[in-house]
Amino acid sequence: MSNGLRQRIIGALVLGALGLIILPIIFDFADPLKIDRTSKLPAAPEIKSIDVAKAQRPDSSSKLGEADSLLNVAQSKPADDSSESFYGLDENDLPRAWVLQAASFEEKNKAENLMQQLRDSGFKAFVKAADLENKTFYRVYVGPKADKRRAIAEKAQIDSNFSTDAIVLQYVP
C-alpha cells in the first residue's frame, strides 16, 4: 500500500470517528413528534382503608331531656324581675329564654285569630294547647326572646295594640 493511500484511509477513519462523535452533539436526530412517556411523578402512596363505624342514636338520658325542656312552653312559669337576670345562662348552663303569653282561650279558632293578628303586626306568634282541670286551653305565645328587656318591650306594645295583659314567662329547664 502506498503511503498516500494509507494517509487517505486513516484520514477517512478519523473524519468518520469525529463525525460519529460530533454530529449527534450538534444535531438532534430524535423524532420531534415522539412523546416522552417517562413520568417524573413519584409512585402513588399506599392507602390503607379504614372502617368507619355507623352513627348510633344515643340512649335517652337526662342531658337530652334538659335541652328539650327548654322549649317546652307548658312548663313555663311567670318571671320575677328581682330573682332573674335579663339574659345569659341559668344554673344548668342553658340559655335563658323568654316568651309572652298574650292570651288563653277555650276555643281554638279564637286563639288562631289572635295569632294571625299578631303575625300580621310583625310578631312571631304561635298557639299551644294546654290541658288544665280536664279542659283544653289554647294559649297564644309570642317569642321566644333571648333578652328579657325585649320581651318586656314587646309586652307593652302588645298590651296597648291588642287590649290584653300579656305575661312574661321564662322557660324552665
Per-run averaged pLDDT (10 residues), the chain, 173 residues: 89 91 77 74 86 79 54 60 57 75 84 86 84 84 80 82 80 50
The enclosing domain of 75 has a CATH number of 3.30.70.1070
Does residue 141 lie within any of the structural domains?
yes
Q: What is the pTM of this model?
A: 0.49
**Residue 168 CB partners (closer than 8 Å, separation 6+):** 78, 79, 98, 99, 100, 148, 151, 152, 155
Residues linked to residue 139 through DSSP beta bridges, in sequence order = 104, 128
Domain count, the chain: 1
Does residue 25 lie within any of the structural domains?
no
Does residue 85 lie within any of the structural domains?
yes
Q: Find the domain containing 101 and state its range.
A: 67-170
